[in-house]
């Protein structure tokens, strides 16, 4: 019994190349194209998302900030963070 993916190959007479491109759009290299029209051309090269680099930059800045704290600032930061989390959990 064919699945939703293999049905296109088995029952609708699609070629193997069309089947592979359909699967690539659904869960492979072309996952970002899954909602686009099947006739949309596949680009020669995909641009990486800026999400991860932005996250690394933000976390590096936060680490630098935390590492530059004095002992008194660290204790105050820890006490405030603890109090905030206790309050957040109490509200839930």
Global pTM?
0.50
Domain shared by 40 and 3, yes or no: yes
Residues 59 and 22 in one domain: no
Q: What is the pLDDT of residues 56-83, one digit of tens each?
A: 999 999 999 999 999 999 999 999 999 9
Domain range holding 31?
1-46
Pair 60, 23 in one domain: no
The dihedral built from the CA positions of residue 68, 72, 74 and 80, taken in this order, carries a sign that is negative
User: Are residues 62 and 25 part of one domain?
Assistant: no
Say yes or no: 55 and 42 in one domain: no
Q: What is the pLDDT of residues 11-57, one digit of tens each?
A: 667 788 877 877 777 777 787 787 888 778 888 888 888 999 999 99
Q: What are φ and ψ of residue 56, in 5° steps? A: -60, -45
Say how many domains are in the chain.
2
Regarding whether 68 and 35 lie in a shared domain, the answer is no
């Amino acid at each position: 019994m064919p699945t939703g993916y293999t049905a296109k190959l088995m029952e609708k007479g699609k070629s193997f190349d069309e089947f592979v491109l359909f699967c690539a759009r659904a869960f492979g290299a072309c996952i970002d194209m899954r909602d686009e029209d099947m006739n949309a051309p596949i680009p020669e090269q995909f641009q990486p998302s800026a999400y991860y680099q932005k996250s690394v930059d933000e976390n590096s800045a936060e680490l630098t900030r935390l590492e530059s704290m004095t002992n008194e600032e660290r204790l105050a930061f820890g006490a405030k963070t603890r109090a905030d989390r206790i309050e957040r959990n109490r509200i839930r």
